[in-house]
Amino acid sequence: MSIKVIDNLLTPSYHEALCNIMLGEEFDWYFLPNTTFADRGTDMSFRHMFYSDGAYTASPMAKFISPFIFHLSDAGQVPHVCLLRCKANLTFRATDQSEDMIPHVDYIHPNLSMIYYLHDCDGDTIVYNETVDDFDGNHVPETDRLTVLDRVQPKANRLIIFNGNKFHTGLLPKESSRRIVINANFNRG
């Protein structure tokens, strides 16, 4: 499966409401000192979990995000009951121009990965040709052995869908002040 890109996934009013809530002062973000489990010191981010381990979280956004999950389910042609996790990720402008997030997979078992861009920014998503099977189940590979399958620029209201067993990374923005995405994974058992 190659990368599928869907622009204008949501209606303009739903996308705008999502932005207003998630960019507002009342939205809770939780610090992660180590986003991809590769303790490198530069792999920090903020997260807001909407759905995990088969249930909506205590997030006050849970009811608002539910229709969004149905949009993702339809776009990926996968039943919404197969949802593994849905969360928002927030990263900030890199302090060092060579600094970026570490390539990784979200799950080592078969899954469909989706990334929804909340706003325009730099900080592309790179999806690699290699899968977790190419590295004996290791979810953080040797980066010098990865080859790029595709690179997608964040654009407001854009969704990308790809094989979740492929390594991927989100680059830290170099020009924009922040990069906010919603990441979801659906079981492909």
Tens digit of pLDDT for each residue in 10-44? 999 999 999 999 999 989 999 987 655 555 555 68
Burial-class residue 185 by CB neighbours within 10 Å (0-12, 13-18, 19+). Answer: buried
Tokens of residue 171, six digits: 């680059």
Q: What residue type is assigned to position 157 of the chain?
A: N
pLDDT digits (tens, 9 = 90+) for 87-139: 999 999 887 766 677 898 999 889 999 999 999 999 999 999 999 888 877 76
Predicted local distance difference test score (pLDDT) of residue 188: 85
